[in-house]
Amino acid sequence: MGTLSKIILSSIGKKSIMAVSGIMLGLFLLVHALGNCTTFFGREAFNSYASHLHSLGCLILFFEVGLVVIFLTHIVLGCMTWWQNKRARPHSYEVYRSSGGRTMGSKTMPYTGIIILFFLFVHLQNFHFTDHSREISAIVKGVLIQPFYAIFYSIAMLALALHISHGFWSMLQSLGINHPKYNSIMQRGTLSLCVVMVAVFVLIPALTLLWPGFLL
Amino acid sequence: MSNDKIGLTLKIWRQPCSHSKGKFETFHVNNISSDMSFLEMLDVLNEHLTLGGKQPVAFDHDCREGICGMCGAVVNGQAHGPEKGTTLCQLHMRHFRNGDTLVIEPFRARAFKVERDLVVNRSPLDKIIQAGGYVSVNTGGAPDGNGVPVAQDTAEQAMDAAACIGCGACVAACPNGSAMLFVGAKVSQLVLLPQGYPERAGRALNMVAEMDELGFGNCGNERECEAVCPKSISIRNIARLNREFFKAALFG
Ligand code: HEM
Ligand code: FES
């Protein structure tokens, strides 16, 4: 193996690339959440936001391809570390007890990751690979008014919340950012960002299901 | 409370040698003084076993005062037992109650082979140290006392990292079997001081490469290591190791 690939595939190398891809996915989520906020201003705001986005043409394609690459990188490295970490302790403990370091989020990273991936397929099927002759607000409403989908979307967003509740802080640590002066603000800041973003994503299926006037 | 006596049920991992299959064996001990340390409690058990013509339970120990890093086992799922910032030899029986059942297992990781019962081979940690290489020390006349200034705060951080006794509890407690807290502490104690500074790039790269090679897992920032560390070493040292690794990989 060459020097570069050795460094990339080392434990710290993999985690830093997961962290960088995690930041990019986080930025994507942030933009996505901001865009989705237009639904709260009514059907017209949302439709015009969507059509503006689509009018970007080539740029959209560039971002789509970029996102696929980032997701694949994140997922492949995530699976590698998961597999290696399982192998690092072939004989598990008869009794295991956390000493207080782990959180719900950190414990479940691979599982919440898989739920997000599965959600992604359903999500793209629902809104991307669909008949786009209707306006986007009607498409969204058509899907999320079905209780099954509204609940499925909400559950998937809770999995996302768990994932990034650990992930956003973890990527700072993976990138070597840890200082007693800033640790408390970093922890609270990343958690707040996670809560606000997921709240937006959960509000949309919840409002569609519970409030007939939403996106009308 | 000082002369309380307690009785315990012990479920202890027994394994005759590294390539035999092990299993749990249950023992009962009575009249354990709450002033005893955990290892003294095991001594009592072993005396009974020996008198009864049975093999005593093998466990590692040396100083019995929390400074050598030889002792260690997982007690009820926690490395070095339930007390924070304490080695197994400094864990006292007053932290347990009469009638408790304690499950006692060796530190488990692919890199740590069980040699016998609770004794594991932690020489992979020594191999990581070896991979770290040397530090340059100038010979010649004695240097001036304060000729090389080191800020008090930096010296404190180096000292905090150097408190690592290499017991391996961080590996044992890590859900991913990672040795990052150990390596982080060793890299930090040297990189913060003038003696270790010049060789820092090679040291970070080689120690991490050796750690991966030996089959330790990848750090997931679960923070279990700092929670069980008998010397309460902070994961700030892991962040410093990450930075050292990036600097070395990119510019070293
Ligand atoms: C929008 C979606 C996602 C975001 C924002 C995200 C974000 C993150 C972040 C920030 C980390 C921490 C990286 C580090 O500590 O260095 C992380 C870790 C992880 N992610 Fe994701 N992720 C997403 C999707 C996924 C998916 C789809 C999967 C897998 C199918 C996945 C699997 C993992 C795993 C297994 C880890 C833990 C790695 C470890 O600690 O060793 N993630 N994620
Ligand atoms: S025997 Fe030395 S630290 Fe416990």
User: Is any atom of ligand 1 closer than 6 Å to the C-beta of A78?
Assistant: yes
Q: Which residues in chain B land under pLDDT 70?
A: 1-3
Spatial strand order in the sheet of B5-14:
B23-33, B5-14, B101-105, B74-75, B78-79
The per-residue pLDDT for A1 is 58
Any idea which fold B123-135+151-251 has? Fumarate Reductase Iron-sulfur Protein; Chain B, domain 2 (1.10.1060)
Task: Give dist(CA A44, CA A47) in Å, integer.
Answer: 5
User: Is any atom of ligand 1 closer than 6 Å to the C-beta of A39?
Assistant: no
Task: Give dist(CA A178, CA A192) in Å, integer.
Answer: 18
Ligand nearest to the CA of A31: 1
Residues of chain A contacting residue B78, judged by C-beta atoms under 8 Å apart: 97, 99
**Which atom, in ligand 1's list, is nearest to the CA of A19?**
16
- Which alpha helices (DSSP H) does chain A contain, by range? 3-9, 11-36, 43-54, 58-87, 104-107, 109-127, 136-144, 147-174, 183-210
Secondary structure of residue B136 in the 3-state scheme: coil
Q: Kindly report the pTM of this predicted structure.
A: 0.94
Partner-chain residue, chosen from B74, B209, B226, that has the shortest CB–CB distance to A101: B226
Residue type, A132: H
Is residue B71 within 8 Å of B118, Cβ to Cβ?
Answer: no
pLDDT tens, N- to C-terminus, chain A (216 residues): 578 889 999 999 999 999 999 999 999 999 999 999 999 999 999 999 999 998 988 999 999 999 999 999 999 999 999 999 999 999 999 999 999 999 999 999 999 999 999 999 999 999 999 888 889 999 999 999 999 999 999 999 999 999 999 999 999 999 999 999 999 999 999 999 999 999 999 999 999 999 988 888
User: Is any atom of ligand 1 closer than 6 Å to the C-beta of A141?
Assistant: no
Task: Give dist(CA B252, CA B237) in Å, integer.
Answer: 20
Which tokens belong to A83? Answer: 């597999």
ipTM for the predicted complex: 0.93
Yes or no, beta carbons of B249 and A7 under 8 Å apart = yes
B198 touching A (Cβ < 8 Å): no
Is residue B228 within 8 Å of B241, Cβ to Cβ?
Answer: no
Yes or no, beta carbons of B77 and A101 under 8 Å apart = no
Is residue B188 within 8 Å of B235, Cβ to Cβ?
Answer: no
Is residue B116 within 8 Å of B58, Cβ to Cβ?
Answer: yes
Residue the block writes with tokens 């390596």 = B183
Mutation test residue for ligand 2: of B43, B59, B65, the one with most atoms within 8 Å of CB? B65
Q: Which residues of B98-119 are buried (b: 16+ CB within 10 A; e: fewer)?
A: eeeebbbbbbbbbbbebbbbbb
Q: Return the bridge partners of B10, or none.
A: B27, B102
CA-closest candidate to residue A21, choices A70, A77, A78: A70
CA B122 to each of CA A101, B63, B129, B179: distance values in angstroms, whole numbers, following the listed order: 23, 17, 12, 11
User: Is any atom of ligand 1 closer than 6 Å to the C-beta of A114?
Assistant: yes
The per-residue pLDDT for A213 is 86
Mutation test residue for ligand 2: of B68, B107, B118, the one with most atoms within 8 Å of CB? B68
User: Is any atom of ligand 1 closer than 6 Å to the C-beta of A110?
Assistant: yes
Which tokens belong to A61? Answer: 């394609």
The per-residue pLDDT for B37 is 97
Per-residue pLDDT tens over the stretch B187-201: 999 999 988 899 999
Domain ranges of chain A: 12-87+104-210
User: Is any atom of ligand 1 closer than 6 Å to the C-beta of A163?
Assistant: yes
The per-residue pLDDT for B3 is 63
Q: Is B25 left (phi over 0), alpha (psi -120 to 50) or beta?
A: beta
Partner-chain residue, chosen from A7, A85, A100, that has the shortest CB–CB distance to B176: A85
**Which atom, in ligand 1's list, is nearest to the CA of A175?**
16
Interface of B with A in 7-26 (CB under 8 A): 11, 13, 24
Query: What is the DSSP code (8-state) at residue B146?
Result: T
Yes or no, beta carbons of A89 and B241 under 8 Å apart = no
Is residue B206 within 8 Å of A78, Cβ to Cβ?
Answer: no
Any idea which fold A12-87+104-210 has? 3 helical TM bundles of succinate and fumarate reductases (1.20.1300)
Task: Give dist(CA B75, CA B206) in Å, integer.
Answer: 33
Residue type, A1: M
The per-residue pLDDT for A3 is 83
Domain ranges of chain B: 5-105, 123-135+151-251
Which tokens belong to B181? Answer: 């807290």
Per-residue pLDDT tens over the stretch A152-166: 999 999 999 999 999
Residue type, A164: I
Task: Give dist(CA A170, CA A106) in Å, integer.
Answer: 9
Interface of B with A in 36-75 (CB under 8 A): 74
Yes or no, beta carbons of A94 and B11 under 8 Å apart = yes
Minimal C-alpha gap between A184 and chain B (Å):
13
Mutation test residue for ligand 2: of B89, B91, B119, B164, the one with most atoms within 8 Å of CB? B89
Is B5-105 a domain of CATH 3.40.50.720? no
- Which alpha helices (DSSP H) does B74-151 contain, by range? 123-131
